[in-house]
Amino acid sequence: MKTVITRFPPSPTGYLHVGGARTALFNWLYARHMKGKFILRIEDTDRERSTRASVDAILDSLEWLGIDWDEGPHFQSERFDIYKEYVQKLLDSGNAYYCTCTSEEIEEMRKKAMASGDKPKYNGRCRNKGIDKTDNAVVRFASASAGTTVLKDSIKGNIRFQNTELDDFIIVRSDGVPTYNLAVVVDDITMGVNTVIRGDDHVNNTPRQIQIYKALGIELPVYGHVPMVLGNDRSRLSKRHGAMSVTAYRDMGYLPEALLNYLVRLGWSYGDQEFFLIDELIEKFTLDNIGRSAGIFDQEKLLSLNADHIKASPPRKLIKYWKPFLKERRINNDNNQYLEKIIETLNTRSKNLIDLTEGALFYFQDEISYEEKAARKNFKPAALEPLRILCGQIEAIKDFNEANLEDAFKKVMQSCEIKLGKIAQPVRVALTGKTVSPGIFEIIHVLGKDVVISRLKKAITFIEASAPEP
Ligand code: GLU
């Protein structure tokens, strides 16, 4: 069996949006599943709109997502000689010709066609004129004028196009720049691409591309046109539905694996399963399971899947994605063991990495500042005795383990005749500044004996100063 070769060919006219990321993902997963090759190609023939910043943004996004490529990035702007060679082949074989019609003439043709109830299209006026290359000439492809072109789509089934609908489209503009339909075919041919998975907004281009393949006598690739991603109002996903770029999701604290998991499910399914790790996707992804209906992008679902991935990821793996969020809060802690322990206390209660960061701030503060309401409610004079006893008990612990810690709390409960809640809440506020946090024993364990003692002492001093004993 021949090696499957797929590609992702973004136009660098903006950031990588989630729809584009899904296309990249499908091509990448299929190549990985089939042990094939995945090529990255930058379609930058539109010099006005293409920017280096967009190229960088796209590469960054793919790297963050973990979508790696085996070849490229190729740049179309560096491949003009190859396009020229193929255009010459088409000219030599009579499948293309020079056209010197002016835009006014073409406008006139269109008007005429419309007036007689036809589609507005180029009427082939220069096709048999044998025009030689001149400065302002464009090159047109001589499309079949009768019969049908069939797109055998592995997702949508067979789609038939009447050739009378296709006009002699331009393949090289008057400035010598090849058009998308020409460049994409030449690239796919010369790069050996044999599987093209892309958005179904390209379905209408495909008969033109098929005709170019046929004119060159080259076998067609397998095509799969994936339905578009829609917003929750079923219109095409756009900015007004929320963030569109991959980097926006990165900055909002999503894990790449969660975003990929979410995107793959917008169009591909495996029974009812919702949660997938990447290796599992590579193992299970085939074109057969890509559906025909459009996926609806739902932020809430994505967020809940993100929470599931945070929970399921080994803390060690999360650190790399978490560190930029800590840096943003000026926390430069490279003690990965400490970070892992922190994550273990928070990963079941964080929906994204911003939540995780917020929830973890107290672990990094030298001075805990108390939320006003938390202090008012929990730092009452009655808390002083239990806190003092606990502090003494903890200071006396030699082996700072769970059993000894529990013992220390028990002693406080016994000697003050109080329930755990009465001591746990003031301790929580002393250690975190807040009333909501991970379990108190988990926190104590992560902070360690010295920090716990110093925070308890600080709380005692605070209560002594603000709420004198009766
Ligand atoms: N550059 C095109 C796009 O971004 C690629 C289309 C294709 O896959 O052929 O839509």
Confidence of residue 23 (pLDDT cuts 50, 70, 90): very high
Domain range 313-364, its CATH number among 1.10.1060.10, 1.10.530.10, 1.10.8.70, 2.40.50.140: 1.10.8.70
- Residue 120 in this model has a pLDDT that exceeds 90: no
Atom 9 of ligand 1 has which residue's CA nearest to it? Answer: 184
Q: Return the pLDDT at 179.
A: 97
Give distance in angstroms: CA of 1 to centre of ligand 1. 27
Residue ranges per domain, the chain?
5-77+228-305, 79-226, 313-364, 372-466
Confidence of residue 149 (pLDDT cuts 50, 70, 90): very high
- Start-to-end Cα distance in the chain: 86
Give distance in angstroms: CA of 177 to centre of ligand 1. 17
Q: Return the pLDDT at 159.
A: 98
Give distance in angstroms: CA of 81 to centre of ligand 1. 21
135 versus 388: the higher-pLDDT residue is 388
Residues serving a catalytic function are 239
Residue to mutate (ligand 1; options 5, 151, 198; most atoms within 8 A of CB): 198
Tokens describing residue 202: 């390209």
Nearest-5° Cα angle at 199, 201 to 212 = 70
Give distance in angstroms: CA of 361 to centre of ligand 1. 44
Q: Which atom of ligand 1 is nearest to the CA of 23?
A: 8
- Average pLDDT in the 133-144 region? 94
Confidence of residue 407 (pLDDT cuts 50, 70, 90): very high
Domain range 79-226, its CATH number among 3.40.50.620, 3.10.20.30, 2.40.50.140, 3.40.50.970: 3.40.50.620
Q: Are strands 148-153 and 157-162 parallel, antiparallel or unpaired?
A: antiparallel
Residue to mutate (ligand 1; options 184, 200, 228; most atoms within 8 A of CB): 184
- Residue 468 in this model has a pLDDT that exceeds 70: no
Atom 8 of ligand 1 has which residue's CA nearest to it? Answer: 198
Confidence of residue 242 (pLDDT cuts 50, 70, 90): confident
Edge-to-edge strands, sheet with 71-75: 5-8, 37-42, 71-75
Cβ(430)–Cβ(456) below 8 Å:
yes
Give distance in angstroms: CA of 274 to centre of ligand 1. 28
**Which fold, 372-466?**
Arc Repressor Mutant, subunit A (1.10.10)
Residue to mutate (ligand 1; options 41, 76, 151, 180; most atoms within 8 A of CB): 180
Q: Which atom of ligand 1 is nearest to the CA of 43?
A: 1
Confidence of residue 1 (pLDDT cuts 50, 70, 90): confident
Q: Are strands 295-296 and 229-230 parallel, antiparallel or unpaired?
A: parallel
Tens digit of pLDDT for each residue in 191-227?
999 999 999 999 999 999 999 999 999 999 999 999 9
| Residues in contact with 383: Cβ distance below 8 Å, sequence separation at least 6, in sequence order | 422, 423, 426, 463
**The model scores a pTM over 0.85:** yes
Cβ(313)–Cβ(257) below 8 Å:
yes
> Could you identify the residue written with the tokens 């055998």?
152
Atom 10 of ligand 1 has which residue's CA nearest to it? Answer: 10
- Average pLDDT in the 24-32 region? 98
Establish whether domains 5-77+228-305 and 313-364 are of one fold.
Answer: no
Which CATH number describes the domain made up of 5-77+228-305?
Answer: 3.40.50.620
Residues with CB under 6 A from ligand 1: 9-11, 43, 184, 198, 202
Atom 6 of ligand 1 has which residue's CA nearest to it? Answer: 9
Give distance in angstroms: CA of 272 to centre of ligand 1. 31
Atom 5 of ligand 1 has which residue's CA nearest to it? Answer: 9
| Residues in contact with 141: Cβ distance below 8 Å, sequence separation at least 6, in sequence order | 90, 95, 96, 168, 169, 170, 171, 181, 182, 208, 211, 212, 215
Confidence of residue 470 (pLDDT cuts 50, 70, 90): low
- Average pLDDT score over the chain: 95
The CB density around residue 3, as the number of other CB atoms within 10 Å, is 11
| DSSP code at position 164 | G
Q: Return the pLDDT at 147.
A: 96
Q: Which atom of ligand 1 is nearest to the CA of 201?
A: 10
Q: Which amino acid is at 326?
A: L
Give distance in angstroms: CA of 48 to centre of ligand 1. 17
- Average pLDDT in the 250-255 region? 98
Q: Return the pLDDT at 467.
A: 61
User: Which range, of 105-119, 162-176, 312-326, averages the lowest pLDDT?
Assistant: 105-119
298: left (phi over 0), alpha (psi -120 to 50) or beta: beta
Atom 4 of ligand 1 has which residue's CA nearest to it? Answer: 10
User: Could you give the CA distance from residue 13 to residue 47 in angstroms, rounded to a whole number?
Assistant: 9
Cβ(266)–Cβ(283) below 8 Å:
no
Residue to mutate (ligand 1; options 43, 79, 151; most atoms within 8 A of CB): 43
- Residue 469 in this model has a pLDDT that exceeds 80: no
Q: Which atom of ligand 1 is nearest to the CA of 184?
A: 9
